[in-house]
């Protein structure tokens, strides 16, 4: 990771006299002693705009995922909280949507000026690994969240596959369509690592799917059929397919053995009747 020197941030439009001092100090602290699973830094052009990456913890459906987001601090921080967004699809939050948390700008009165950037991001990680719902959160299955985690590096560095387009849409649009430009500008070293990962794992830059024959394990789970469902669910699907297949065929085809047996029985019966008639006439 490229570490920016705190003295490179200027006061003025990029940072107010109030927020500049604590944010510069907190950047130094979080760079030297980052919390587990979290890394963060201010944008070079604006100390009020912070970018973070949360790495999905073990024993969670986000394990190994790379979740990029932003904290937009007000000029009077730390006396008011930042707006919190997570851009990378996670199955937990709506991408690039302001999150309603006790540590975000939705609740300025509940914000404690003693809280720092690391406190805010630890709180975000804690909320992410819970199932509590709020504005900006979504409900997904564990299988769907694991699927999104497996695609997170690709999503960040390609802008959801838009890097292959001749004219990628607005470079400032971090939701999708920027070709990964915004992520690359803030996380140049991580972006290089992601592209190495994409090539090593033979991931299609356009679709995010594996190009080799071992892609079965990374197939997207079918919504409505739980990945951990019972055998009864699987049997129900099989039965439904059989019913649909049989609905498209005729009664005679489905009961061809019965029809064949009946035909043989009738043939034998007729043969006996004919034979009997011949014997009586002689």
Q: Which residues are catalytic?
A: 100
E strand spans, the chain: 38-43, 46-55, 66-72, 83-86
Structure-block tokens of residue 85: 């967004």
- Do residues 96 and 88 make contact, with C-beta atoms less than 8 angstroms apart? no
**Nearest CA to 18 among 107, 62, 65, 79?**
79
- Report the greatest alpha carbon distance in the chain: 127
DSSP letter for each residue of 48-96: EEEEEEEEPPTTSTTTT-EEEEEEE--TTTTSSPPEEEE-S--SSB-TT
Residue 149 CB neighbour total at 10 angstroms = 23
Q: Is it true that the peptide bond before 78 is cis, omega within 30 degrees of 0?
A: yes
CA atoms of 168 and 162, how far apart (whole Å): 6
- State the Cα–Cα distance between residues 234 and 59, nearest whole angstrom: 26
């Amino acid at each position: 990771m490229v570490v920016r020197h705190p003295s490179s941030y200027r006061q003025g439009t990029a940072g107010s006299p109030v927020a500049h001092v604590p944010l510069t100090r907190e950047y130094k602290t979080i760079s030297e002693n980052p919390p587990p699973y979290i890394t963060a830094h201010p944008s070079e052009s604006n100390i009020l705009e912070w970018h973070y990456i949360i790495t999905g913890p073990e024993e969670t459906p986000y394990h190994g995922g790379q979740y990029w987001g932003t904290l937009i601090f007000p000029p009077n921080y730390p006396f008011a909280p930042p707006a919190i967004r997570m851009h990378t699809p996670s199955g937990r939050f709506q991408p690039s949507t302001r999150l309603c948390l006790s540590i975000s700008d939705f609740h300025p009165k509940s914000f404690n000026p003693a809280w720092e950037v690391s406190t805010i991001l630890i709180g975000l990680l804690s909320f992410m690994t819970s199932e509590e719902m709020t504005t900006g959160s979504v409900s997904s299955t564990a299988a769907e969240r694991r699927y999104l985690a497996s695609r997170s590096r690709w999503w960040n560095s390609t802008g959801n596959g838009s890097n292959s387009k001749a004219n990628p849409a607005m470079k400032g649009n971090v939701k999708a369509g920027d070709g990964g430009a915004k992520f690359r500008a803030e996380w140049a070293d991580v972006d290089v690592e992601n592209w190495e990962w994409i090539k090593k794992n033979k991931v299609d830059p356009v679709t995010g799917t594996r190009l080799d024959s071992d892609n079965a394990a990374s197939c997207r789970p079918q919504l409505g059929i739980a990945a951990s469902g019972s055998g009864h669910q699987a049997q129900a699907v099989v039965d439904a397919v059989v019913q649909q297949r049989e609905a498209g065929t005729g009664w005679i085809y489905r009961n061809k053995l019965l029809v064949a047996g009946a035909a043989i029985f009738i043939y034998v019966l007729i043969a006996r009747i004919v034979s009997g008639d011949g014997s009586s006439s002689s």
